[in-house]
Amino acid sequence: MNQTRALPQVLQVLDDGLRLYRRNLPGFLLVSTAVLVVIALLVLLCTTIVRTQLGTGVGWTLMLIFLLLLVLYPLTLYTFAALSRAADAALNDRPITLAAALRIGPARGCGMIIFNLLFGFIASVFAGIMSVVVSCPMFYFSLLGGALLSTVSNIVGASAGVFIGVISQISTLWSLISFGGWLASIVYALQAFALEQRPWGSAAGRSVDLLTARFGRSLLMFMGAGAIFGTLSLSFIGTLIATLLLIQDRLNLTIPPFASDAVTIALVVGTLVVLLPPLSIWMAMFHRQVALEQDGDELARRVAAWHCTVTA
């Protein structure tokens, strides 16, 4: 496949995914709400128990974070897998039903989680290296530039300050893209388990094969989808929470801790209910695209081998 076509293909998947999301909006919102509401209730329950029964010390807070990660990680993977199954149904012109989207067997779910833990560790190392390779030089360059220009005139110093600020923002944006790309790769690794009826070993091999077969395009897809998802999520959640705090400050309201936690969790979950489906849709569509290309190449090789055997 010509690598110069990678960017148009990625942009086409992103655009087609949003179109599919708009056409099947109620179905996707139903699936994401069904799982995320359960997650929200678990988070609120754990937070309330820690606040009222165990206290707010550092040790209990760390334990709460650990327990939440232990429970939320598999539930989050399950949410993405269910949304991917919903996307597959929509791509096949089938109605999106909650029962069909959530129908993932325990054995397949456990295998999916185990593989994703291994894949996620490798992907996190790769994303961390990408983030450090770009962010660290920018950080040190901004410090060096600030030190060198600290003794010059005020105009040059002000220009240098603006330049350093721009570099810092670029570094932050790159870190956000790296994290978003990591999350997108995690969702992509689920597709062989969620969409194809394969045993654990075959599904794991399928995920690795499809990732390495079009690695450049896959990396571009992960970073593009992750950047969109990360930017929108951060913007929406940050704006909603900032607005809530501003209203509370202006009206001089005293909100109990439980109510404050409930409102914050509701805002975050409400945002994710809307923003999570596109990421799963993009990864399901991209998985299908690469799988069709890979299977077509394999079929072509088999036909060529058969033709050589017949004509020999």
The closest alpha carbon to 291, from 195, 174, 165, belongs to 195
pLDDT attached to residue 169:
75
Q: Is residue 60 part of a domain?
A: yes
Q: Is residue 26 part of a domain?
A: yes
The closest alpha carbon to 272, from 26, 6, 80, belongs to 80
Number of domains in the chain: 1
At residue 127, what is the residue type?
A: A
Q: Supply the Cα-derived Rg of the chain in whole angstroms.
A: 23
pLDDT one-digit tens code per residue, 29-80: 999 999 999 888 888 887 777 777 665 566 666 777 777 778 888 899 999 9
Tell me the C-alpha to C-alpha distance, in Å, between residue 230 and each of 55, 162, 166: 33, 25, 20
pLDDT attached to residue 151:
60
**Ranked by mean pLDDT, which of 20-24, 38-42, 101-105, 299-303 comes out on top?**
20-24
Q: Is residue 50 part of a domain?
A: yes
Name the band, by pLDDT with cuts 50, 70 and 90, for residue 244. confident
Q: Is residue 312 part of a domain?
A: no
Instruction: Please state, for a pLDDT cut of 90, what percent of the chain lies above it.
Output: 30
Compute the half-sphere exposure of residue 46: CA atoms within 13 Å on the CB side of its CA.
19
How far is it, in rounded angstroms, from Cα 34 to Cα 38?
A: 7
Residue 119 predicted with pLDDT over 80 = yes
Q: Is residue 70 part of a domain?
A: yes
Q: Is residue 183 part of a domain?
A: yes
Q: Where are the alpha helices (DSSP H) in the chain?
A: 6-23, 25-49, 58-91, 98-102, 106-148, 154-195, 200-213, 215-250, 257-311
- 256 token code pair: 């109990």
pLDDT attached to residue 255:
76
Q: Is residue 261 part of a domain?
A: yes
pLDDT attached to residue 36:
92
**Segments forming the whole domain that contains residue 56:** 3-304
- 25 token code pair: 């909006």
Q: What is the mean pLDDT of residues 198-213?
A: 87
How far is it, in rounded angstroms, from Cα 87 to Cα 21?
A: 8
| Strand, coil or helix: 214 | coil
Residue 17 predicted with pLDDT over 70 = yes
Name the pTM for this structure.
0.84
Name the band, by pLDDT with cuts 50, 70 and 90, for residue 154. low
Q: What is the mean pLDDT of the chain?
A: 82
